[in-house]
Amino acid sequence: MGDVLHLMPALSDLKRQFPDLSVDWMVEDSFAQIPTWHPSVSKVIPVATRRWRKLKWTNIKEFLSFWKQLRSERYDAVIDAQGLIKSAVFSRFARVAQGGKRIGFSGDSIKESPAAKFYRQTVIVDRKMHAIDRLRALFSGGFEYQIPSDKPDYALPSYSVSSRDLPTIFLLHGTTWATKHLPDSFWRKLAELIAEDGYKVLLCWGNETERLRAQWIADGQDDVEVLPRSSLTELKGMMAKASGAVAVDTGLSHLAAALALPCVSIYGSTDAQLTGALGENQTWIQSKYPCSPCLLKTCPKLTKQVTEPPCYQDIKPADVWQSLYEQIA
């Protein structure tokens, strides 16, 4: 989800350069709602790469339908914004008009360097840049305009802090890697502190594990609510009206950034300088533990006695809430 949101400022840059721009966006089906939020996107082409690996008749039919839709156009430009072998292969499926461009990162700009062999034009981009800045550089290099120096424009409606009149705080606790997760006890204590100061706490979830965690955090707390399962568009609407949020490194933290929703995001195993939520009213807390950021999906320091990643041990709920409260009070 974060990767999809990261691309939106680059599209906004491109739209300013070419006002008549029309974009078809190929994206994983679980995130297909997000591209529809950008005004330059005319068609979303969903893919289901994980599901299609299973050779079932329904999956084959889905793939053939996707193939027909994608191949029905000849594009002036095809750009692979992910730089993975998988995304490079799928971008190669799209047809390019005569004289058109097929653009991607150079081999030394990405982890999966063989992907660069699938492009006609490659752009060298510093791997140490933030993901959003990397994509803005890729588009400016591919379409030959100067990299804009302004702040990222996600092309979503802008909400000022003063317009958020509902005293609610989102706790964005769900994420993928085990090493990105804060202890459940951290979230429960944080919810208590926020409720004590007169704010209602909202917890969203996307799978059964997250739902159970949210229920445990909310148990016995009247001002802590577990929301029903919601679409991304529904969540966007609710977050746009909230007072603030606290997040781990998760896709929804980037949605908070896109909405300029005041948010404190916490990073342990990952590096905020590379993938931190970037936008107005965003605060990063990076663990100061010696091995942070390790960029590992599993923590080698876990034992029978140490059951939670130690990089979060010095981050206190009270400090996190104080950091957010100073923005919104």
pLDDT tens-digit readout, 200-236: 999 999 999 999 999 999 999 999 999 999 999 999 9
Q: Are 297 and 177 in contact (CB under 8 A)?
A: yes
Would you say residue 189 has pLDDT above 80? yes
Residue 165 pLDDT: 58
Would you say residue 164 has pLDDT above 90? no
pTM: 0.91
Residue 307 pLDDT: 84
Cα–Cα distance measured from residue 148 to residue 275, given in angstroms and rounded to the nearest whole number: 19
Domain annotation for the chain: domains and CATH numbers: 2-143 (3.40.50.2000), 163-328 (3.40.50.2000)
pLDDT band at 108 (very low <50, low <70, confident <90, very high): very high
Considering only the C-alpha atoms of the chain, give the largest distance between any 2 of them, rounded to a whole number of Å.
Answer: 64
pLDDT band at 47 (very low <50, low <70, confident <90, very high): very high
Residue 160 pLDDT: 54
Residue scoring higher pLDDT (246 or 307): 246
- The secondary structure of the chain in percent helix, strand, coil, rounded to multiples of 5, reads 40, 20, 40
Tokens, residue 212:
């159970």
Residue 232 pLDDT: 95
Q: Which element (helix H / strand E) includes 96?
A: strand 95-105
Q: Are 229 and 206 in contact (CB under 8 A)?
A: yes
